[in-house]
Amino acid sequence: MKKKIVFLIRDLNYGGAERQLVTLVKALNKEYFDITVLCFYAGGSLSLDKELKDNGIPIIYLEKQGRWHLFGFFWRLVQHLQCIDPDVLHGYGGTPNLLTIFLKPFFPSTYMVWGLRNSNSDSNFYDWLGNLIFKLECILSHFANLIVVNSYAGRTYYLTHGFPIKKMMVISNGIDIELFQPDLEARTKVRSHWGISQDTILIGLVGRLDLRKDHPTFLKAAALLCEESQNVHFVCVGSGSENYARELDELAHQLGISEKVIWEKARADMPAIYNALDIIASSSYTEGFPNVIGEAMACGVPCVVTDVGDSALIVANLDVIVPPKNPEALQTAIEKLIERVNINGCDRTKIRQRIVDHFSVAKLVLKTEAALLSLSHESLSK
């Protein structure tokens, strides 16, 4: 008999957690699982909803009307769950996780699973409500049946805040190695569209315009690189606050590199974007499991990363790991990588194989299915 699984998430707008949920749900064995996805809000123009619908996976929109639309929203959620009567309710992120515990009295036989996607909750970054949600997570985590963390760094962080070790397990994100793979034709097409010659070194930062991605450090490193070579160009791919976008553009102007930087909003054709790049630089000062690094490497693109979250674990190369918030270190690592690529060429096959061997969707699915099926044999809350 199939296990009925409900995934609960805020929305399916294009992002790392959302991308992972869609990837997982599409790949789970439908002979074992009957899956429904519940979203607080309908998606926007870059929503991933269509992928689920094309794969025959039902999506229910709970039509939440904003932050303080609480009781009507909660009752609608209860009604939908009563119709489904799930064996497992799997939250994805802070508020969805907390809701599973508040729903437990209504569904005492349903196993409540949490999905944690971060490795750090910076109290200075979130407003009072974000900090309150995290404090509640720390307290209520003991009532979850299973807590899935997508990074070893995240597991360490949450354990220091009192999360129950016996209920936590790490399941790293899975990268779609069929979707993300080397593509020389796509490389030529995208670079031509951007007006970048094939012999120009193109360095990219892929990530939403968010303070935690630390674009300023990337731009400062870019300026230092431009002092040493004119044969470099940069692209930042991601959407975010228009005010923040203007601040970053002004910083690039102040650094004298505005003509060297391309600003590209979030796009759906990310495999083509990765293939257009010679190097990916991740300058984040906090991460969990950064999908960008895995996706780029699956396309055979070498990465320079800050030593946050599981970034170092993914690349497994000490030469390309630098401390966060250090433009000089980032510049030096990129220069060394450029020199290595120019002298020996880039072994894209070896870079890609790292992801194939350790972070494929198949491994994500195998571990997730085993964890979900185990809930029917023995509650992890004991």
How far is CA 320 from its chain centroid?
20
Same domain, 153 and 208: no
Residue 294 domain flag: yes
Total number of domains constituting the chain: 2
pTM of the model: 0.89
pLDDT at residue number 121: 58
Lowest mean per-residue pLDDT among 8-17, 57-66, 119-128, 244-253: 119-128
Same domain, 237 and 127: no
Give the residue ranges of DSSP H helices in 104-214: 128-140, 152-160, 184-194
State how far the Cα of 20 lies from the Cα of 136, in Å rounded to an integer: 25
What crossing angle do the helices spanning 16-27 and 361-374 adopt, rounded to 10°?
70
Q: Are 155 and 170 in contact (CB under 8 A)?
A: yes
Domain of 144, CATH number, reads 3.40.50.2000
State how far the Cα of 116 lies from the Cα of 119, in Å rounded to an integer: 8
* pLDDT, tens digit, 9 for 90 and up, residues 347-367: 889 999 999 999 999 999 999
Lowest mean per-residue pLDDT among 98-107, 154-163, 173-182, 346-355: 346-355
Mean pLDDT confidence for 30-59 = 90
Mean pLDDT confidence for 115-124 = 71
Structure token pair of residue 254: 């102040």
Mean pLDDT confidence for 87-115 = 96
Residue 381 domain flag: no
Mean pLDDT confidence for 78-87 = 97
Task: Check whether 263 has a pLDDT greater than 50.
Answer: yes
Average pLDDT, the chain: 92
Residue 382 domain flag: no
Residue 97: burial class (beta carbons within 10 Å; 0-12, 13-18, 19+): buried
pLDDT at residue number 381: 40
Residue 44 domain flag: yes
* Structural domain boundaries, residue 299: 184-358
Residue 62 domain flag: yes
Same domain, 353 and 364: no
- Between 357 and 267, the more confident residue is 357
Residue 380 domain flag: no
Q: Which amino acid is at 304?
A: V
Best CA proximity match to 202, nearest among 231, 239, 245, 238: 231
Residue 306 domain flag: yes
Mean pLDDT confidence for 250-256 = 98
Residue 119 domain flag: yes
Mean pLDDT confidence for 109-117 = 95
pLDDT at residue number 128: 79
pLDDT at residue number 359: 96
* pLDDT, tens digit, 9 for 90 and up, residues 197-224: 999 999 999 999 999 999 999 999 999 9
Dihedral angle computed from the Cα positions of residues 80, 48, 46 and 8, in that order, rounded to the nearest 10 degrees: 40
* pLDDT, tens digit, 9 for 90 and up, residues 309-334: 999 999 998 789 999 999 999 999 99
How far is CA 12 from its chain centroid?
13
pLDDT at residue number 66: 80
State how far the Cα of 45 lies from the Cα of 148, in Å rounded to an integer: 29
pLDDT at residue number 157: 93
State how far the Cα of 84 lies from the Cα of 60, in Å rounded to an integer: 11
What confidence category does residue 16 fall into, taking pLDDT thresholds of 50, 70 and 90?
confident
Non-local (6+) Cβ contacts of 305 within 8 A are 281, 282, 290, 293, 311, 312, 314, 315, 320, 321, 322
Same domain, 21 and 136: yes
